[in-house]
Structure 1
């Protein structure tokens, strides 16, 4: 697998700092500072992952994220931004970003996120052979932990099923509500939090030392069993 990380960032100091840490971790890097340079560069290169700033000269990060997702759906993207409004976070993730990091950030955090995304997408052989911590019996609407039924309600099962279908993807509360209640009834975000809390408690009873469902502050929740 190509180990080049494409850094699309118009602040030179940030780009150099991130590149230095990535290179120390064994990755090759390439830096682009202008949004209009990205798609032509990708036409001739195949990086392992893109670190994509939201605010760029020329084509902005959200537009690029959409285009990359359309043309290179298997190419992971981690978005970088100083804009912390929730609407930007959700929009970025809905456009296909694999993760989202807000400035200011630690370069060590960036390296850790890069490794986590690549590990999830390209697991090692021994990791791939390890059974998933949970399995779903969709016909029986059951979640099984090492063969033991967790005793989920229908809503809890549906929530878990949605998140397990996209490990590592962050779902907003609104997105989860759409899957919980197909009749589009009006419920509060606290209802989602309550169901997630009960779901996490039942999973924790089976896996007391593993945090499988993660809350992402200001955004929502994700299923990530390999953390």
Structure 2
């Protein structure tokens, strides 16, 4: 599915963005809004988990290292509640990638800081495509179950 069709289909979808850098939250929020998505901002992992429970976003973007609760812990706790939710991890160092790919966490994409507008758009497209694929799979399963 093309990016334009995906963004149109999921217009207004909520994206949780957890990062302890206000400038990153502001930048990502602006990009998401320009794509027609709603940004739910959190300053750390604890606030991120609370806002996830309060707002039920369909995608999570999280910084890897934050105070109080890091991004990997946040991702694991959210995926324990909703295993198929797309998770995008933002990190400042490529060397950190080894801990991102924990066997207990499925990461949809990794954004290396500093990232570009194109990087964010491509990561969102990948996450929305994951949602679309899961929706199609669920629909096919339900059809087969009823036949």
Instruction: Determine whether 1:93 maps to 2:101.
Output: yes
Q: Secondary structure at the match of 2:88?
A: strand
Runs (4+) of structure 1 exceeding 6 A deviation are none
Q: Which moved more, 1:11-20 or 1:89-98?
A: 89-98
Q: How does 1:51-200 map to 2 (within 5 A)?
A: 51-85=61-95, 88-94=96-102, 95-123=105-133
Deviation at 1:122, TM superposition (A): 0.9
How far does the alpha carbon of each residue in 1:154-209 deviate from its partner, in whole angstroms, 9 at most, with x for none? xxxxxxxxxxxxxxxxxxxxxxxxxxxxxxxxxxxxxxxxxxxxxxxxxxxxxxxx
Give the TM-score of the pair, scaled to structure 2.
0.75
Aligned length: 123
How far does the alpha carbon of each residue in 1:8-58 deviate from its partner, in whole angstroms, 9 at most, with x for none? 011111111111111111111111012111222222221120111001111
CA distance in 2, matches of 1:43, 1:19: 19
Q: Report the counterpart of residue 201 of structure 1 in structure 2.
A: none
Contact 1:17 1:107 in 2 (8 A): no
Structure ranking higher on relative contact order (CA contacts 8 Å, 6+ apart): 2
Choose 1 or 2 for highest CA Rg. Answer: 1
Contact 2:45 2:69 in 1 (8 A): yes
| Equivalent in 14, 25, 33 of residue 4 of structure 1 | 14
What CA RMSD, in Å, does the superposition of the two structures yield over aligned residues?
A: 1.9
Contact 1:52 1:61 in 2 (8 A): yes
CA distance in 1, matches of 2:16, 2:76: 16
Higher fraction of helix: 2
Give the TM-score of the pair, scaled to structure 1.
0.50
Q: Flag structure 1 segments of 5+ consecutive residues without an equivalent.
A: 129-227
CA distance in 2, matches of 1:36, 1:120: 26
How far does the alpha carbon of each residue in 1:105-136 deviate from its partner, in whole angstroms, 9 at most, with x for none? 1033112211122123215x9xx6xxxxxxxx
Q: Flag structure 2 segments of 5+ consecutive residues without an equivalent.
A: 1-9, 137-147
